[in-house]
Amino acid sequence: MSSSQTSTLGLHRWVGTDRVSRAEMVDNFDIVDEAAADIYAQIEDLRLLISRLDVGWTIADEINFRYPDNNGIFYDILDGKGGRVTAALEGVATYTTGALAAGATSITVGDASGLAVGEEVTIYDDVNAENVTITAITDNTLTVGALVNAYKAKATVARTTAVTDAANARMVFPAWGTSDIAITEA
């Protein structure tokens, strides 16, 4: 039987006259194997993160140089996980104050000050997303074309910067320009 254990993995350690036990040896191998599996999983997660960051920065650079006043959202279809990526300047993303039914043409938002008539906005929640054009703004109520989907209260409404072309697995951007953006993924 071992008389001590290693400090990091808790492996059995034999000293002096300790008798080596086959069960303790097998236990040591199991502990090492479990630790190795965890390390390999962490390495794979880091590889995925690095590749996503590379893609994210490429997209950020692309957006940064293409569209003036770049504000809004797009979907990250590049890593297969479908995460929502937000590329927005302060004050141009807001939220719905209530749930919206499909067919609604009026969207009441928390703050419409960053939006203007004629702009396209993307509305999205954790289930649906679509782009609509603002035809009128009264206080914090946006008038838009009829919504195709229903949305939960607190759905995000942001000025559109890119259109996701899911069929071709790419994003389509508007005309060239320059702006500063911050990118976060939910």
Q: What is the length of the chain?
A: 186
User: pTM for this structure?
Assistant: 0.43
The pLDDT tens digits for 20-60 are 999 999 999 999 999 999 999 999 988 887 776 666 556 55
Phi and psi for 27 in degrees, rounded to 5? -60, -45
Q: How far apart are the first and last CA of the chain?
A: 51
Question: What dihedral angle (degrees, nearest 10) is formed by the CA atoms of 47, 59, 148, 81?
Answer: 0
> Cα 130 to chain center, whole Å?
17
The pLDDT tens digits for 108-123 are 999 898 788 888 888 8
